[in-house]
Amino acid sequence: MKNQTKESYDELERRRRARERRQRQKRKQKRKRLLYIGTGILGLAVVLAGILWIMSLLFARNYVDLKGIEMPEWVEEDFLDPNPYSRPATEMKRVNEIVIHYVANPGTTAKQNMNYFNSLQDQTGIKKISASSHFIIGLEGEVLQGIPIYEMAYSTSKEKNVDTVSIECCHPDETGKFNDATYDSLVKLTAWLCKNLGLTEKDVIRHYDATGKDCPRYFVAHEDAWKKFLSDVKAARKQPDEAIR
């Protein structure tokens, strides 16, 4: 009887130990599974981060410090007074395109058009106009800068104003065709901006391309002239820095 009791106790003890071993084995396997899952998640996160980094290199443009760009000496600073209607002093983080315009006011000078933009701050009444441009090129090829390139201008559209630099051009008559002096300065300024903003001639558009407006009129009416202009910008952009400095 005593032997049977001892044997029963030993059997129970053996089963208890076997149970504990199985439980320990299960806990160990569970920890391994959790470790594998955690390692897999971490690995996936690293891979995704790598993919995102590569995509940023492939699709994002090189960062340009807009405030660090120094304008060439042939650009005359003629900044508008900060005001809600022509120079809101809204900073831009990035310039993605350059937009070409014409002033639509035949025979006027760059200074006259810049003065007009500046006068908008004195508007009264209910309906008020918002308009401006970063640059205006005159009939003698002079280049006036009305707004820093790191600030927004009211030039094209609500969507485009936030990441574009605008160039207005004077013209002698209603056709909107630029004379040689204005055209040459436009090519030079556009090429210089492309080089310093990390852009190419493919990033140069007409006001017409953004909104359908008849601006700049001659380049809208003469597609061949627009293509020639972009070709001239490309050639100028590829010249040494000194050539357009």
114's tokens: 């810049």
Do 15 and 89 lie in a common domain?
Answer: no
Per-residue model confidence (pLDDT) at position 57: 45
Distance separating alpha carbons of residues 45 and 39, to the nearest angstrom:
10
- Do 82 and 41 have their domain in common? no
Ramachandran sector of residue 136 (left: φ over 0; alpha: ψ -120 to 50; beta: rest): beta
Nearest of 153, 170, 176 to residue 97 by alpha carbon:
153
Task: Provide the CB-side half-sphere exposure for 63 (13 A, CA).
Answer: 5
- Cis amide bond preceding 172, omega within 30: no
- 159 and 238 co-located in one domain: yes
Encode pLDDT of 131-148 as tens digits.
999 999 999 999 999 999
pLDDT in tens, 184-218: 999 999 999 999 999 999 999 999 999 999 999 99
Q: How many angstroms separate the CA atoms of 214 and 207, rounded?
A: 8
54 and 156 assigned to the same domain: no
Same domain, residue pair 110 and 154? yes
Tell me: do 144 and 215 sit in the same domain.
Answer: yes
- Residues 121, 216, single domain; the answer is yes
Task: Please tell me whether residues 87 and 52 are part of one structural domain.
Answer: no
Q: What's the predicted TM-score (pTM) here?
A: 0.76
Q: Shortest CA distance to 78 belongs to which of 128, 146, 141? A: 146
Last residue of a domain, one of 40, 60, 80: 60
For the ranges 5-14, 56-65, 135-144, 180-189, which has the lowest average pLDDT? 56-65
Q: Is the pLDDT of residue 156 over 80?
A: yes
> For 107, which DSSP code?
T
**How do residues 68-123 score in pLDDT, each as one tens digit?**
999 999 999 999 999 999 999 999 999 999 999 999 999 999 999 999 999 999 99
Final residue belonging to a domain, choices 34, 60, 86: 60
- Residues 91 and 108 occupy one common structural domain: yes
pLDDT on residue 58:
46
The tokens for 170 are 């004077």
- What is the extent of the structural domain holding 4? 1-60
73: left (phi over 0), alpha (psi -120 to 50) or beta: alpha
| 21, 78: one domain | no
3-state class (DSSP) for residue 151: strand
Same domain, 51 and 90: no
45, 99: one domain:
no
Instruction: Tell which of 17, 37, 60 closes a domain.
Output: 60
The answer on pLDDT for 152 being more than 70 is yes
Classify strands 97-102 and 75-77 as parallel, antiparallel or unpaired.
unpaired
| Mean pLDDT across 37-48 | 78
Question: In total, how many domains does the chain have?
Answer: 2
